Structure 1
């Protein structure tokens, strides 16, 4: 073996370690951000769709449609939020890989410079011994860099796996035909979708593809990837026309407070007080219904629950259910957020997000958002913290 070939053989382990960092191609983070922005656009269009459903589709079927459309909105929100978080993870991993690559490149240059500096002396027995020792030292340094970067990427991979949990999207179903005057009830896992919802599903699928691509770009191929709630009336009652329901407030974009619901979904409350009120109300789930009750665990009625939950969050509400919307901003279904109140002329419930509300039935319980309650007149949705 020639001297040049011998030196090349000594340097080859360092070269191989350098190759393990991959080509350094980027762009995945940008794809994830573009996908998140596309889903956000679908959500914005979906709010108007929910409002149209509420205006045009009456009765229990309309409530079910709005409920499931809001679940689609929550799924889209979770997807866009995760997409942006994934972009941050990818960028951080890219930076860690790039830093490691630069360090190993410098180690290779250092070894090459030592070989060149030895010149003819490197061909002697003593010179060869020195070269081997230098090669062992440089290879050890390069190995330590690779091990450090792999440890860093293990942490990023764990973060990516956590973010890549499936985001549930309600399936599509056509409501059954009904006789005039009958109520149509859709299964809880169904949703009558329109173009906006279909676009959301497509965007979510695109986000999933981007996530898979992100896994392959990390470190080349070296990373493993009032009264109690009595439920809807048995016969649909006409909804009181509500010509002033349009939203007068809009959803905050990324400035709210995240709340994790009992079903595992994450939603964004408009502010800390609303988030605290939701958590307070949920802590009372299971409390038996007691007319006039205001004590979690012992007994509560509908307005007692919402009044107590908001009082603990620093917001004062009247005791009567039908008065709890007084003086507060009215919101449309498309702009509903956790903490908003659904108010009837004899009942009140609190929206918690993902198409759900919490209310004092018997016991305090979580159920789908609706606008009907045993023939009571629905007064609207209100935001006490606006």
Structure 2
């Protein structure tokens, strides 16, 4: 996807990508594999390409919304799983689980080379994921990062996120 397709969002999206992640730098230890039990069936079935695109666009439209622990609305703010739940319910009528640990069992694992917009991105350093976002293409994802922050667009190859164990899921 080219920047021209983002229309009026091109400049803000580019600025967000260029600002990078302001999280603490990773430790030197290698991340452990995220443990995922066998996928559970999902009511929403496989997402069509159109639905996946709508999910990504909707998530991008929420960039700048304040972070709030336990938040799950644009007015009240979002935490990472609240953001995912809000976007998926709005675009697919699916009801994702509420916690990151539960999200890790929602859908099918997707190999890195087969990821697409709308897939979930799960991060961690141990066997259980601790953070999640929505993949929007070109190595980028939308997420609600931490207390005091805002929903933002980050790159998987940034220093912090590239040191995390990552898994992609498709509901």
User: TM over 0.5, yes or no?
Assistant: yes
Residues in 2 aligned to 1:306 and 1:243: alpha-carbon distance in whole angstroms: 20
Selected match of 1:240 from 32, 47, 55? 32
Quote the residue 1:122 is aligned against: none
Larger radius of gyration: 1
3-state SS in 2 of match to 1:381 = strand
2:78 aligned with 1:294: no
Quote the residue 1:366 is aligned against: 153
Contact 2:96–2:106 (8 Å) recurs in 1: no
Q: If each structure's strand is expressed as a fraction of its own residues, which one has the higher value?
A: 2
User: Which blocks of at least 5 consecutive residues in structure 1 are unaligned?
Assistant: 1-73, 79-161, 163-187, 189-228, 245-268
User: Which blocks of at least 5 consecutive residues in structure 2 are unaligned?
Assistant: 5-17, 37-46, 124-128
Quote the residue 1:278 is aligned against: 56
Residues in 2 aligned to 1:346 and 1:233: alpha-carbon distance in whole angstroms: 16
Offset of 1:373 from its aligned partner? Answer: 5.2
Give the TM-score, by structure 1 length. Answer: 0.31
Contact 2:26–2:163 (8 Å) recurs in 1: no
Please list the CA deviations of residues 172-223 of structure 1 after superposition, one character each: whole Å capped at 9, or x if unmatched: xxxxxxxxxxxxxxxx7xxxxxxxxxxxxxxxxxxxxxxxxxxxxxxxxxxx
Residues in 2 aligned to 1:355 and 1:324: alpha-carbon distance in whole angstroms: 21
Please list the CA deviations of residues 5-35 of structure 1 after superposition, one character each: whole Å capped at 9, or x if unmatched: xxxxxxxxxxxxxxxxxxxxxxxxxxxxxxx
Quote the residue 1:382 is aligned against: 169
RMSD: 3.3
Matches within 5 A, 1:201-220: none
Give the TM-score, by structure 2 length. Answer: 0.66
Matches within 5 A, 1:148-163: none
Offset of 1:270 from its aligned partner? Answer: 5.0
Contact 2:110–2:168 (8 Å) recurs in 1: yes
Offset of 1:369 from its aligned partner? Answer: 1.7
Quote the residue 2:11 is aligned against: none
Offset of 1:237 from its aligned partner? Answer: 3.2
3-state SS in 2 of match to 1:380 = strand
Residues in 2 aligned to 1:337 and 1:241: alpha-carbon distance in whole angstroms: 21
Residues in 1 aligned to 2:95 and 2:54: alpha-carbon distance in whole angstroms: 13
Residues in 1 aligned to 2:34 and 2:122: alpha-carbon distance in whole angstroms: 13
Residues in 2 aligned to 1:343 and 1:243: alpha-carbon distance in whole angstroms: 11
Selected match of 2:101 from 319, 322, 330? 322
Offset of 1:236 from its aligned partner? Answer: 3.4
Question: Higher RCO, 1 or 2 (CA under 8 Å, sep at least 6)?
Answer: 2
